[in-house]
Amino acid sequence: MQANGAGQGQESSELSCLNSAQNGESSSAGGTHSNGLLSSTDNGNSVGTSNGSSIGTSSAASTASGSEVGSLKKKKRLSQAEEDVIRLIGQHLHGLGLNQTVDLLMQESGCRLEHPSATKFRNHVMEGEWDKAENDLNELRALMHSPNAIVRMKFLLLQQKYLEYLEDGKVLEALQVLRGELTPLKYNTDRIHVLSGYLMCSHAEDLRAKAEWEGKGTASRCRLLDKLQSEDPFPYSDPVLSPLYVPPSGLNLCPDLPAAYLPPSVMLPPRRLHTLLRQAVELQRDRCLYHNTKLDSNLDSVSLLLDHVCSRKQFPCYTQQILTEHCNEVWFCKFSNDGTKLATGSKDTTVIIWQVDPESHQVKLLRTLEGHAYGVSYLAWSPDDTYLIACGPDDCSELWLWNVQTGELRTKMSQSHEDSLTSVAWNPDGKRFVTGGQRGQFYQCDLDGNLLDSWEGVRVQCLWCLSDGRTVLASDTHQRIRGYNFEDLTDRNIVQEDHPIMSFTVSKNGRLALLNVATQGVHLWDLQDRVLVRKYQGVTQGFYTIHSCFGGHNEDFIASGSEDHKVYIWHRRGELPIAELTGHTRTVNCVSWNPAIPGLMASASDDGTVRVWGPAPFLDSQEADGLNENCSNMDS
């Protein structure tokens, strides 16, 4: 095909479409493109053939064709968005090696893939002609976003030049680059010190390993071009000003950085179309209410022809099992950290350990731990799942530390008959735990129940140990959560609510806390910023102690029991529930999401049962919709 309009040989510093033949004028003679395709014209219409043969038509057909093409010639000028799409497609095709196709696309559209100076620069980099590439940078200087960008780009070029000299054994030449070219730039002195250390490498393999560099050749030069096209790896000497630095608030001070050296109108960022498609897929997954699997950034794992959508039937909102071995109210349930076991505690004075089948995800009774005279209202697995601690209700002054593997009681602890040990949390080292209750006891103990530290006068409702191994979070009767440091004996206020905090749990990364607040429901707090993030709607929460949880892949979901006999599930970013699970007949006291199997969840209720929830069984859609214990779709 033949490009339309005059001025095709003219080079402009601006990268815009060059199709100017809006009046329908075109060359009357055929031509051969650089890709070898022969084109012929008929009444201004360019006709390309893949085999170079001409196409013959009748006189009448030619007249009709000319009329039709005449209207096409008067098409409007391409918009900026259309130009961008053409360039993105061209870059992608170029990456696939379809260079002739790219030539045709650019010629027919009148667009240019990148600035001529950028093309020249790219070619010189790939050929290792570093002096010419450096001269090209001077031509590109006026097109750069930042006046300092050329220094940073020269640094990257000279670094590659230096490493290639070293790999070739040209130590004197490399030393000259280091001393005479890199050092005078007075840029990133720390990196220059690192580079100088590579002079001591005894052979090329040692250099590539220490420099984490692919070696001289296409791979490392392509990576260099990626860096030159995309971002500045050393934008700031002060780490607090670096875009990679996340301040205590968790907010990025420079969300739009790292920035490209050259504007995209001059040189497109590397693999830009692939990046946009990946972002689109990730955004669709992010907005999918029921997406509960690992995010695969590989585009080959998805279809780009359809929007991403997860079915509700893939979500854990169908009853898989009803466990009826307890003979009274079930107050608590908790999966082990590795997801292979489930522990349930009941008013019937027992703890039952259940084994989770890794294939079928069915649970079966493993062993029963007896003797908790007041019942079991709270359970905590040790970090390695070897031990399980059981606590009782308000009038219980004892706790039990069980060896789950053997079923033996290792420790039965009671400091005083006047104590109320209703909550417990493990230190991350697995060698200590903290426990307390509403009568003012707050202890740190070892595995044998020996008292290590105590904090007087704290009426504890719920406890959690942070990953730093020093800070303990405790909700108390003053409607707050405070952080207590047992090493330096300091404490500070973190969360303040207006109503009693009945229970709380913390996300794996220690950033978010999920609170069940009396008469209010479920609240999500940011522990670093100390702000209320979200109030989740739907749940009925009075003054019963109900335990909610984070769950699903990446802890994207939140689940809670409720006094209206339901289990509620929310996507973490939405206030309205995405599912209401029915089936229990009394208050649901606790919900636990399996940390290793995102599609498995358990709930414990005053109706004496534990329900295990999972995806819909393999039934046809009508049968699945007709299940008695199902998930009410709350998607708006």
- State pTM to two decimals: 0.70
Q: How far is CA 7 from CA 19, 110, 113, in A?
A: 9, 10, 17
Angle, helices 80-95 vs 272-287, to 10°: value is 110
| Per-residue pLDDT tens over the stretch 164-222 | 999 999 999 999 999 999 999 988 889 999 999 999 988 899 999 999 999 999 999 98
Residue 225's pLDDT band (boundaries 50, 70, 90)? Answer: confident
Average pLDDT, the chain: 81
Residue 632, pLDDT > 60, answer: no
Q: How far apart are CA 45 and CA 2, in angstroms?
A: 9
Greater confidence (436 vs 440) lies with 436
| Per-residue pLDDT tens over the stretch 254-283 | 333 345 677 888 888 888 898 899 888 888
Residue 26, pLDDT > 50, answer: no
Residue 113, pLDDT > 80, answer: yes
Mean pLDDT of 51-56: 38
Q: How far apart are CA 115 and CA 118, in angstroms?
A: 5
Residue 45's pLDDT band (boundaries 50, 70, 90)? Answer: very low
Reading the block at residue 347, the tokens are 């008013």
| Per-residue pLDDT tens over the stretch 455-511 | 887 888 999 999 988 899 999 989 999 999 988 888 899 999 999 999 999 999 999
Q: How far apart are CA 423 and CA 380, in angstroms?
A: 9
Residue 247's pLDDT band (boundaries 50, 70, 90)? Answer: very low
The dihedral built from the CA positions of residue 17, 18, 19 and 21, taken in this order, carries a sign that is: positive
> Of 236-245, 293-302, 588-597, which range is least confident?
236-245
Residues 6+ apart with CB under 8 A from 477: 438, 459, 461, 500
Residue 237, pLDDT > 60, answer: no
Q: What is the DSSP letter of 297?
A: -
Structural domains for the chain: 114-229 (no CATH), 312-369+504-617 (2.130.10.10), 378-496 (2.130.10.10)
Identity of the highest mean pLDDT range in 303-312, 403-412, 433-442: 403-412
E-only strand ranges, 306-450: 318-323, 330-335, 341-346, 351-356, 363-369, 378-381, 387-391, 399-403, 408-413, 423-426, 432-436, 442-446
| Per-residue pLDDT tens over the stretch 520-566 | 999 999 999 999 999 999 999 989 999 999 999 889 999 999 999 99
Mean pLDDT of 386-394: 94
| Per-residue pLDDT tens over the stretch 121-164 | 989 999 999 999 999 888 888 887 776 788 888 999 999 999 99
Q: Whose structure tokens read 């350990």?
A: 353
Q: How far is CA 39 from CA 34, 101, 126, in A?
A: 11, 14, 32
Q: What is the DSSP letter of 575?
A: S
